[in-house]
C-alpha cells in the first residue's frame, strides 16, 4: 500500500504546470483530488516519476453561468457541486451524479476535472456530460482548445487530452425552458462504482413533445457510452410510456457490458433498459411533462 517514490512538484500557475508537463512528458501526472491517482499508485497500477500538484493554482474552482453556458472549473470538488444552488436548480442531473460518487470524504477532495480526465468508464460524470452535450477546455503550451465531450473518451483510461494539456474547464449549454435531467445508478452498496448508471437529459415543448434528448451510460463498455440511437429516436415524439420504453430498449442495444463480479452481461443490459426508463421518466417530470 506504499506507492513507489516520486518527485513532488507544486506549480503556482497553469503556465508553470504546463511547462512541467512539457519537461517531464509521460513520466509526470497531474494531481487534483488524488482520489483515483493515489489508490492506483498504492496498488502500483500507476508509477509516475513526477507528481504535479495543481491544488495551489488559484482560479480553477468555480461554478458559474457565463454567456449561455454553465462553466465549471476543472478543480471544482464534488462537494461544491452538491451544495451549489445553481446546480441543484438548473442541473439536477449533475446534482444527482455528484451525490452518487463514493462518500462525503471522497467528495470533499475529488474533482470533476479529475473524474473526466481519468477516462474510467466506471466514473459517473462522463455519462452525465455526454447526456448534456458538454465541452471540455484543455490548456496546453499554445493556449486553450475546446473538445466536444463526444470526442473526449478515446479508449479505456484514455482521453483526447494530450500529455502536455490540463483540463481547466467544462462548459455545458444552459438548458432551455421545459428541460430536465436525471442520473440513476445501480450499485452493490452505497458508495460503490456503478454496476450500471444512466444519465438522461430532455427538452420538451409546451405540449410535452420531445425536442432534444441525450442519454449517457456508465460502466457498460470500454469507454463511457453515448446512447445515440435512443437520443435520436425521441425528438418529435411525445415523452410517454411507449416512447420511453422503446428508447430504453435502444439504449440497452447500444450498451456493451462484459460479465464480471458485478453481474453477467445480459443482466447489465436489462438494467440499462430499466434505469433508462426511470431516468427518462424523472427527466420528463423535472422538465414539467
Ligand X SMILES: Cc1cc2nc3c(=O)[nH]c(=O)nc-3n(C[C@H](O)[C@H](O)[C@H](O)COP(=O)(O)OP(=O)(O)OC[C@H]3O[C@@H](n4cnc5c(N)ncnc54)[C@H](O)[C@@H]3O)c2cc1C
Write out the residues near ligand X by the rule CB under 6 A.
29-37, 39, 74, 101-102, 106, 110-111, 113-115, 117-118, 123-124, 161, 166-167, 191, 193
| Minimum separation from the CB atom of position 103 to ligand X (A) | 7
Give CA–CA dist 281/289, Å, rounded: 9
| Minimum separation from the CB atom of position 76 to ligand X (A) | 10
Please answer whether residues 171 and 69 qualify as being in contact, where contact means their C-beta atoms are separated by less than 8 angstroms. yes
| Minimum separation from the CB atom of position 43 to ligand X (A) | 11
Between 153 and 233, name the residue whose CB sits nearer to ligand X: 153
Residue with the closest Cβ to ligand X? 114
Name the residue with cell 512528458: 25
Partners of residue 173 on adjacent β-strands: 69
3-state helix, strand, coil in the chain (%, to 5): 35, 30, 35
Give kind and range of the element (H or E) at residue 132: helix 125-132
**List of residues 6+ apart from 179 with CB closer than 8 A:** 201, 202, 203, 204, 287
7-9 and 50-53: which strand pairing? Answer: parallel
Give CA–CA dist 152/11, Å, rounded: 26
- Residue 162: Cβ within 10 Å count: 12
| Minimum separation from the CB atom of position 176 to ligand X (A) | 28
| Minimum separation from the CB atom of position 112 to ligand X (A) | 7
Between 117 and 250, name the residue whose CB sits nearer to ligand X: 117
| Minimum separation from the CB atom of position 191 to ligand X (A) | 6
Between 203 and 218, name the residue whose CB sits nearer to ligand X: 218
Between 84 and 111, name the residue whose CB sits nearer to ligand X: 111
Name the residue with cell 418529435: 236
Between 113 and 133, name the residue whose CB sits nearer to ligand X: 113
Amino acid at each position: 500500500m506504499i506507492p513507489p517514490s516520486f518527485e513532488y512538484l507544486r506549480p503556482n500557475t497553469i503556465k508553470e504546470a504546463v511547462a512541467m508537463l512539457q519537461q517531464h512528458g509521460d513520466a509526470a501526472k497531474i494531481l487534483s483530488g488524488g482520489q483515483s491517482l493515489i489508490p492506483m499508485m498504492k496498488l502500483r497500477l500507476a508509477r509516475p516519476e513526477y507528481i504535479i500538484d495543481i491544488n495551489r493554482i488559484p482560479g480553477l474552482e468555480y461554478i458559474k453561468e457565463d454567456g449561455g453556458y454553465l462553466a465549471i472549473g476543472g478543480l471544482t470538488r464534488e462537494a461544491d457541486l452538491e451544495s451549489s444552488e445553481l446546480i441543484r436548480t438548473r442541473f439536477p442531473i449533475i446534482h444527482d451524479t455528484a451525490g452518487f460518487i463514493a462518500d462525503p470524504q471522497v467528495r470533499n477532495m475529488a474533482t470533476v476535472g479529475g473524474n473526466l480526465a481519468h477516462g474510467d468508464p466506471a466514473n459517473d460524470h462522463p455519462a452525465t456530460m455526454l447526456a448534456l452535450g458538454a465541452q471540455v477546455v484543455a490548456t496546453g503550451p499554445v493556449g486553450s482548445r475546446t473538445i466536444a465531450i463526444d470526442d473526449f473518451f478515446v479508449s479505456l483510461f484514455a482521453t483526447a487530452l494530450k500529455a502536455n494539456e490540463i483540463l481547466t474547464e467544462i462548459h455545458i449549454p444552459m438548458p432551455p425552458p421545459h428541460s430536465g435531467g436525471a442520473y440513476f445508478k445501480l450499485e452493490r452498496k452505497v458508495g460503490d462504482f456503478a454496476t450500471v448508471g444512466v444519465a438522461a437529459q430532455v427538452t420538451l415543448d409546451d405540449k410535452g413533445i420531445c425536442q432534444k434528448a441525450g442519454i449517457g451510460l456508465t460502466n457498460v463498455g470500454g469507454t463511457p457510452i453515448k446512447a445515440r440511437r435512443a437520443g435520436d429516436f425521441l425528438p418529435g415524439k411525445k415523452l410517454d410510456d411507449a416512447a420511453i420504453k422503446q428508447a430504453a430498449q435502444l439504449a440497452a442495444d447500444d450498451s456493451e457490458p462484459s460479465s464480471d463480479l458485478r453481474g453477467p452481461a445480459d443482466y447489465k443490459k436489462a438494467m440499462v433498459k430499466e434505469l433508462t426508463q426511470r431516468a427518462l421518466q424523472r427527466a420528463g417530470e423535472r422538465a414539467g411533462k
